[in-house]
């Protein structure tokens, strides 16, 4: 009985201290983010769900090797599962406080200027100055990580290019060539019409149009069209935005032609779905239910051994053609390039350890391994020579398209303008506005965002 009373007394004595632990086995966490003397480095990125390829790469490849070589650092994965637009707002919110800021954060290159100007990111110039690996990074991708103030705010992590995916089985049934390469927009429409005539259960031509899919609509669809015209979105020399241009309206007319006039696009139940890309590339395309899709090279990742739909004969089933300019004018093809970067939040607790992690992520072999895992293009010239990277399906085509690549405006107003692009595209695709009406609304909204003095009509 006395022993029972003693146990109860000890338990009651322990209750006031439960929050700090009453066991000698509890971990000790300090204010600098260390647990039992080991530095914790929290990595944050956008987790896209069950088949998130970056998560698999970090978990299966990067972390085991890094922690073995760096026993004083523990990697803590802290992904944000959200839509693309929500990810940007959530990660920005997390970076406002030392208690919630990650140590290493994945930043889409188009958000860098905005987040840097807000003071969320740490300049990396001093770190890079003594880093002998920086010389191997592709020059034009380095410039995409520099803010308007001339400081470097991130290290490129991935690059990409875009083009026209096409299904060879669908093409064969429609009497189209296996080595298809359209010379202009008209030839894309003609091929889609032949597919429509040959198979009623196949989506002839797809492109992202839903505002729910965020930046992909601006970049994969609208800007892939616009930069095939003679107009631009933003003049880097004058720092002015172009609105009410012929190129903008004709790009919208192409979208209207596909979705409304000729009914060549997917039904709105798919087109406006936030899972549009997964439905197209993981369901419709592999099952020969989609003919042509305007999208990015990274979709090859769906068909690798560890992808959502593993496939051995990818190049026999699919092709990846360059996007032609509107009328075949010079240089003949166009693509958009961008990618994700690694940055260190200004409120990160251990920036030196964070930099050590970024250095490792950016090594030659690791860069190639990540690119292969995700189906992306490497950002290092020497990584492109790694055998596993060179053996990827369509890698030569995707790299070739970069010679005519365009990049999104390096301007902190771009994220806001991009939202208006998405609104404009969706309005046209759903038929709620004509191309002319949507272009006029877009012009007014851009003027409101950037100021009339920063616009060319």
Task: Please say if the pLDDT value at position 187 is more than 90.
Answer: yes
Task: Please say if the pLDDT value at position 410 is more than 90.
Answer: no
Per DSSP, what are the bridge partners of residue 342?
Answer: 106, 155
Q: How confident is the model at residue 419 (pLDDT cuts 50, 70, 90)?
A: very high
- The token pair at 225 is 């069209």
Contact 116, 80 (CB under 8 A): no
Query: Helices (DSSP H) in 74-184: which residue ranges?
Result: 84-94, 112-117, 125-129, 139-143, 168-174
- Cα 189 to chain centroid, rounded: 27
pLDDT of the residue at 305:
85
Question: How, if at all, do strands 290-296 and 46-47 pair?
Answer: unpaired
For the segment 326-336, the average pLDDT, to the nearest whole number, is 97
What structural domains and CATH numbers belong to the chain? 34-159+339-403 (3.40.190.10), 161-337+407-450 (3.40.190.10)
Least confident of 122-136, 169-183, 302-316, 413-427: 302-316
Q: Taking Cα atoms as reference points, which of 90, 89, 57 lies closest to residue 75?
A: 57
**What contacts 164, CB < 8 A, 6 or more positions away?**
182, 188, 292, 293, 294, 320, 321, 322, 323
pLDDT of the residue at 83:
80
Contact 122, 344 (CB under 8 A): yes
pLDDT of the residue at 455:
97
Query: Helices (DSSP H) in 1-52: which residue ranges?
Result: 2-14
For the segment 61-69, the average pLDDT, to the nearest whole number, is 97
Give percent of the chain above pLDDT 70: 93
pLDDT of the residue at 30:
54
Contact 125, 152 (CB under 8 A): yes
Number of residues assigned to the chain = 457
Distance CA 298, CA 160 (A): 7
Distance CA 75, CA 62 (A): 10
The full DSSP string for 182-249 is: -SSHHHHHHHHHHHHHH-TTSEEEE----GGGTHHIIIIIIIHHHTTTT--SEETTTTEEE-S-HHHH
Task: Please say if the pLDDT value at position 84 is more than 90.
Answer: no
pLDDT of the residue at 90:
96
Q: How confident is the model at residue 23 (pLDDT cuts 50, 70, 90)?
A: very low
pLDDT of the residue at 29:
52
What is the 8-class DSSP label of residue 159?
A: B
- The token pair at 191 is 């091929």
Task: Please say if the pLDDT value at position 93 is more than 90.
Answer: yes
Contact 91, 329 (CB under 8 A): no
Average pLDDT, the chain: 91
How many of the other CB atoms lie within 10 Å of CB of 387? 7
For the segment 132-139, the average pLDDT, to the nearest whole number, is 94
More confident residue, 142 or 326: 326
431-448 confidence digits (pLDDT tens):
999 999 999 999 999 999
pLDDT of the residue at 20:
33
Q: How confident is the model at residue 7 (pLDDT cuts 50, 70, 90)?
A: very low
For the segment 89-117, the average pLDDT, to the nearest whole number, is 94
Q: How confident is the model at residue 19 (pLDDT cuts 50, 70, 90)?
A: very low
Give percent of the chain above pLDDT 90: 81
């Amino acid at each position: 009985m006395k022993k029972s009373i003693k146990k109860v007394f000890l338990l009651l004595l322990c209750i006031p201290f439960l929050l700090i632990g009453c066991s000698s086995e509890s971990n000790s966490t300090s204010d600098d983010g260390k647990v039992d003397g080991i530095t914790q480095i929290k990595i944050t990125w956008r987790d896209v769900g069950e088949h998130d390829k970056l998560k698999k790469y970090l978990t299966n490849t990067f972390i085991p090797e890094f922690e073995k070589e760096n026993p004083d650092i523990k990697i803590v994965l802290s992904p944000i599962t959200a839509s693309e637009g929500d990810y940007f707002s959530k990660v920005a919110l997390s970076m406002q406080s030392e208690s919630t800021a990650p140590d290493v954060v994945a930043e889409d290159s188009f958000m860098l200027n905005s987040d840097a100007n807000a003071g969320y990111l740490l300049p990396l110039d001093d770190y890079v100055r003594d880093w002998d690996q920086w010389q191997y990074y592709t020059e034009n991708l380095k410039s995409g990580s520099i803010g308007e103030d001339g400081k470097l705010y991130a290290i490129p992590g991935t690059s990409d290019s875009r083009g026209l995916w096409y299904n060879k089985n669908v093409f064969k049934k429609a009497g189209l060539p296996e080595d298809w390469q359209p010379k202009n927009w008209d030839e894309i429409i003609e091929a889609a019409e032949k597919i429509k005539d040959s198979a009623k259960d196949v989506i002839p031509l797809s492109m992202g149009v839903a505002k729910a899919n965020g930046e992909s609509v601006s970049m994969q669809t609208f800007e892939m069209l616009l930069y095939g015209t003679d107009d631009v979105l933003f003049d880097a020399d004058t720092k002015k935005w172009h609105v009410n241009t012929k190129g903008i309206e004709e790009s919208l007319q192409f979208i209207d032609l596909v979705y409304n006039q000729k009914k060549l696009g997917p039904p709105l139940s798919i087109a406006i779905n936030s899972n549009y890309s997964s439905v197209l590339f993981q369901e419709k395309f592999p099952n020969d239910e989609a003919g042509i899709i305007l999208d990015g090279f990274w979709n090859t990742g769906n068909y690798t051994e560890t992808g959502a739909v593993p496939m051995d004969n990818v190049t026999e089933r699919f092709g990846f053609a360059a996007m032609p300019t509107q009328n075949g004018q010079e240089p003949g093809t166009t693509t958009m390039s961008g990618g994700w970067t690694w940055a260190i939040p200004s409120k990160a607790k251990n920036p030196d350890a964070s930099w050590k992690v970024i250095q490792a992520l950016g090594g030659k072999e690791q860069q190639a391994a990540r690119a292969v895992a995700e189906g992306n293009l490497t950002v290092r010239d020497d990584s492109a020579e790694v055998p596993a990277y060179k053996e990827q399906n369509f890698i030569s085509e995707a790299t070739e398209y970069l010679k005519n690549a365009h990049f999104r405006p390096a301007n902190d107003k771009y994220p806001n303008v991009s939202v208006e692009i998405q609104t404009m595209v969706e309005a046209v695709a759903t038929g709620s506005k004509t191309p002319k009406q949507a272009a006029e609304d877009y012009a007014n909204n851009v003027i409101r965002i950037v100021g009339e003095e920063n616009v060319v009509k």
